[in-house]
Chains A and B, each alone.
Chain A
Amino acid sequence: MTQLWDFSGGVHPAEHKQLSTGRPIRTAGIPSQLVLPLQQHIGEPAEPLVSLGDHVLKGQKIADVSHGMGVPVHAPTSGIVASIGDYPVPHPSGMADKCIVLKPDGKDEWCERYPLSDYRKLDRNEVLGIIHSAGVAGMGGAGFPTDIKLKPSRDRKVDTLILNGAECEPYITADDMTMRERADKVVDGLKVMAWILRPERCVIGIEDNKPEAAAALREATQGTKIEIAVIPTKYPSGGEKQLIRILTGMEVPSGGIPADIGVMCQNVGTAVAVAQAVFEGTPLIRRVVTLTGAALETPGNFDVLLGTPVQYLLDQAGLQPDDVSRLILGGPMMGYTLTTTAVPVIKTSNCIIAATASELPAPPPEQACIRCGQCAEACPMELLPQQLFWYAKAEEFEKAEHLNLFDCIECGACSYVCPSSIPLVQYYRYAKGEIRLQRAEQLKADRARERFEARQQRLEREQLEKDQRRKERAKAAAEAQAKKKADAEKAAANGEAVDERGARSALVEQALARKKASTNAARIQPADKPEAATLPEPAPEEPDIEALEKQLTQAQTKLETMQAMLEDAKAQQADNLDKLERAVAKNHDRVKRAQDALTEARRMLAPQPEARSETQPIK
């Protein structure tokens, strides 16, 4: 008997599992079209390898990930690529994303497959490669690429491999039925994963409300060292962190992953996918999906091709369109509602609930929190949900973070028990989103500040250099003046005529010498190294008339726009008049500044042929 630990909190929602366990897993068949999102997991979206009109075979790779984390997508059946474009995908926001649409030809013709009988002869990395190219991603929750998960970094030795068959959410029975009917494949997949990881302990955790599944697995694991741990039914014991606590007594450190404590969790369905990839050479193109809810006539579990639209499945299960009020993808505790039945089944879709209004009624209106603490009693992460709610509502995000908001797994146990029917989880999602946004903005602001500071420094440096040059010029001029004066005095003393021309030529000579010196400096320090702050910058200070003219036109256009807006606002008696007036005044200034700058530039350029000569190429 495996030693079990308990986790604090948890709830016991009505299970409703018998709805979908009455029938064996049925094959859903091939719908008239399959919609395959290019992103079905965490990581990078795949890129299409096929183009419109291509004929593809069942199991053929049709999209792959060239860089970053991700797995390829395969054709679930043979057919024609009918479209590549944006279609609704399973997402809480109801968004559309890039998908490949496949028109099945009905032949269901396989591409060539390479089954492996003895994977042990291969290198472990080769087996990981097979799992990767079969497109296997976690089929329980987020859909993490399985090959990456199976290759933890060297310092994280996995001692305990856990197969998660707890399936604690009400209604869902996909894993239950998989374990009952495909126990051998589950165990085969587990063995492959165990061979890759070499753990000391392999344990399958099953809630005690699935005795048939536990019995089937006991039989399939006979003669192996794999433990079957039957754990008490309590939501959310199938949460990775909770299951690890139940089976090992250890806790995953906050912000860490199970591998940090030498544990890894894999889903039952993932094990089957691994077994199929290795022993049959079959990529992940189908999965078991629970179709349940009181609005279905024949609920049950279906073996579904990925990409099958939800509508097709609902029809298979005998949907009563007049009865259904809420359509949920996932379980009733953590799943999200669908807005359309056009979304396809993807690698992580485990359950579709077509619920009637009386089955899952809308919650009563939110009341005031009476600090009853039921939420804290129910929280499996030992958080203080009520304080988190308080801080989230008051937008005191720092305090919410201080109370470990980011440890919330959004299991919904707190909302489930709240007597004031406060949608607590929604408040946490909101707070998390706001904090992430603030962090991103903080990062952006930091970068902008750095850039601004660098620019300030550059401007200061340039100003200093300009001053330096001006001083030098003034000094030279003073010297020349002094010389001229001395010469004049000398000449006067000598009674000779003042040689004005001689003095002038001396000045020119001086200017040339300066010029030469600066050119040499420029040669030593090429202009593409502006960070050399101490050396004089050779760049000419010629004002760019064209740029200034452009600036002026832009400023004028903007001023006109603002004036037009102001007039509009005045006509409509809008309340932002003062703002617009300020903006117009600002733009007036801007135009004036631009004009001044332009005039100044023109004036500067005209009487300074010397400056222009500097821009000429130097031989």
Chain B
Amino acid sequence: MAFVQQSSPHAHNARPTSKVMLWVILAALPGLLAQTLFFGWGNLINVVWCIAIALASEAAILKLRSKPVAFFLRDNTAAVTGLLLGLSLPQFAPWWVSAVAVVSAIVVAKQLYGGLGSNPFNPAMVGYALVLISFPVAMTTNWAEPALLWGNAPGFGDTLTAIASGQQTAVDGWTMATPLDEYKHKIATHTAAEVLVHPTFGEGFARGWEWVNAAFLAGGILLICLRIITWHIPVAVLGGLVAMSLAFGSNADQYAPLSLHLLAGGTMLGAFFIATDPVSAATSHQGKLIYGAGIGVLIYLIRSWGNYPDAVAFSVLLMNFAVPFIDHYTPPRTYGHHKAHRGLSGRGRS
């Protein structure tokens, strides 16, 4: 008899990476559904398009790097990157903008750093930030009016044509600024009550956006329940944002109210699906809290005093920079030790 030689442990109960990623995709579906219901077909088309581009560019670059293509494609990570970009980009973003974002995310931010697990920055957010800076007009004028449930919305064919035509100004009649952007620009010259009459705010929150955020929150809670992510990062992100908003934004005539911060932008998507990307996030629980809180604080800073509207992408990227530093100073205390070995101190056994 010849026996299998194997090192312990012999039993495994791992949820493979591919399944973890599949769950992330499934958990994002309520959000996608809400986006489709309230903002039309744009995001759905974007998601399909971005995933396709993501898989294609991942396959191409893996081939170039002489890596086993099928083996890596099956881990579903490229699909998740495509999905996240499809969810975050403006509904009517021209096809080439999405393509540039996805290709730079997969090829540059992920594979050129060594592929899965080696990228210091969140690939989706690198792609997003790149197109945001490169094509500011396309990225700010193509947001759909939250109108689907109220009629007067472009159909699937119109949306597809708008995206495929690649013309930035082709869809003027259906597009508008995002609520946070609108509020920020109007509040300089108007009172809160005057700003909030704009149709994008609906009944005082942010029409459509509140439902999208609620759906992403639900998906995120599902991920926590499934133990795919821990609560630390999302709670810290929301905590940081809430704390900053309470500290600086109590005057609605000056700054956007907390409700808008939580429900009118990409906050929930960012907190539960983007900041929690394990590859580019901090690792220890304490580190995750610091990392998440940093993102929350930065979101508020950029939204309130920054020039660009899309704070989540920049906040996540900025905190990605800080991850090695955070990890260095937040290892947990090991069993049997008095305190943790932090940084360079305590080289000896404690």
Contacts and interface: CB of A to CB of B under 8 A. Distances in A.
Contact of A384 (B1, B3, B12, B283): B283
Nearest to A383: B334
B3 A339 contact: yes
Nearest to A380: B335
Interface stretch (A52-60, A129-137, A369-377, A508-516): A369-377
Contacts of A478: none
B4 A325 contact: yes
A407 B334 contact: yes
Contacts of B118: 368
Interface stretch (B15-23, B141-149, B248-256, B298-306): B15-23
Contacts of B341: 402-404
B9 interface: yes
A546 B310 CA distance: 89
B12 A338 contact: no
B14 A421 contact: yes
Interface in A371-419: 371-374, 376-377, 380-384, 386-387, 402-404, 407, 410, 412-413, 415-419
Interface in A322-342: 324-328, 330, 332-339, 341
Nearest to A327: B3
Interface string A416-449: 1111110101100100000000000000000000
B3 A370 contact: no
A399 to B, nearest CB: 10
A41 to B, nearest CB: 20
A241 to B, nearest CB: 6
Interface in A319-368: 321, 324-328, 330, 332-339, 341, 353, 355, 357, 360, 362-365, 367-368
B17 A338 contact: no
B244 interface: no
Chain A interface: which size bin? 35 or more
B220 to A, nearest CB: 16
A425 B11 CA distance: 13
Given A368-B117, A371-B278, A384 B331 contact: yes
Given A355-B10, A365-B71, A367-B75, A339 B5 contact: yes
Nearest to A413: B9
A252 interface: yes
A425 B7 contact: yes
A426 B7 CA distance: 7
A256 interface: yes
Given A370-B279, A384-B284, A417-B14, A334 B4 contact: no
B66 interface: no
Given A254-B337, A383-B334, A368 B8 contact: no
Contact of B6 (A334, A337, A383): A337
B287 to A, nearest CB: 10
Nearest to B71: A365
A299 B14 CA distance: 27
Nearest to B283: A373
A256 B4 contact: no
Contacts of A412: 8-9
Contacts of A8: 335
A252 to B, nearest CB: 5
Q: Looking at chain B's contact residues, is the secondary structure mostly helix, strand, loop, or mixed?
A: loop
Given A255-B349, A402-B347, A407 B3 contact: no
Contacts of A382: 332-335
A360 B336 contact: no
Nearest to B15: A419
Interface in B280-319: 281, 283-284
A370 B337 contact: no
Contact of A334 (B1, B8, B115, B347): B8
Given A255-B349, A419-B17, A332 B4 contact: no
A344 to B, nearest CB: 17
Nearest to B117: A368
A416 B13 contact: yes
B9 A334 contact: yes
Contacts of B13: 11, 13-14, 416-417
Given A370-B117, A407-B335, A421-B14, A415 B9 contact: yes
A362 B5 CA distance: 10
Interface in B53-84: 71, 75, 77
A249 interface: no
Contacts of A403: 331, 341
B349 to A, nearest CB: 6
Among B10, B16, B116, chain A packs the most CB atoms within 10 A around the CB of B10
Interface in B258-283: 278-279, 281, 283
Contact of B335 (A245, A339, A370, A402): A245
A373 to B, nearest CB: 5
Contact of B4 (A321, A326, A368, A423): A326
Contact of B9 (A321, A353, A369, A416): A416
Interface string B314-350: 0000000000000100011111110001000001010
A368 B6 contact: no
A88 interface: no
Contacts of B283: 371, 373, 376, 384, 386-387
B11 A333 contact: yes
Contacts of B335: 7-8, 241, 245, 251-252, 254, 380-382, 407
Contact of A328 (B10, B16, B281): B10
Interface string B15-39: 1110110000000000000000000
A380 B335 CA distance: 8
A253 interface: yes
Given A370-B117, A382-B334, A402-B341, A360 B11 contact: yes
Contacts of B71: 365
A419 B11 contact: no
A252 B336 CA distance: 5
B187 to A, nearest CB: 40
Contacts of B6: 326, 337, 362-363
Contacts of A421: 12, 14, 16
A251 B284 contact: no
Of B71, B117, B332, B333, most buried by chain A (CB within 10 Å of CB) is B117
A415 to B, nearest CB: 5
Given A419-B19, A425-B7, 17 more contacts: A7-B335, A14-B11, A254-B335, A324-B1, A326-B6, A327-B1, A332-B11, A336-B8, A362-B4, A362-B6, A367-B17, A368-B116, A371-B278, A383-B334, A403-B341, A416-B13, A421-B16
What are the 9 closest A-B residue pairs judged by CB atoms, nearest first?
A412-B9, A368-B117, A254-B336, A332-B11, A332-B10, A326-B4, A372-B278, A368-B116, A404-B334
29 contacts: A8-B335, A251-B336, A254-B334, A254-B336, A254-B349, A325-B3, A325-B4, A326-B3, A326-B6, A330-B8, A332-B8, A332-B10, A337-B3, A353-B10, A360-B11, A362-B4, A362-B6, A367-B16, A370-B77, A370-B279, A371-B278, A383-B334, A386-B283, A387-B331, A416-B14, A417-B14, A419-B14, A423-B7, A425-B7
Interface of B: 1, 3-17, 19-20, 71, 75, 77, 115-118, 227, 230, 278-279, 281, 283-284, 327, 331-337, 341, 347, 349
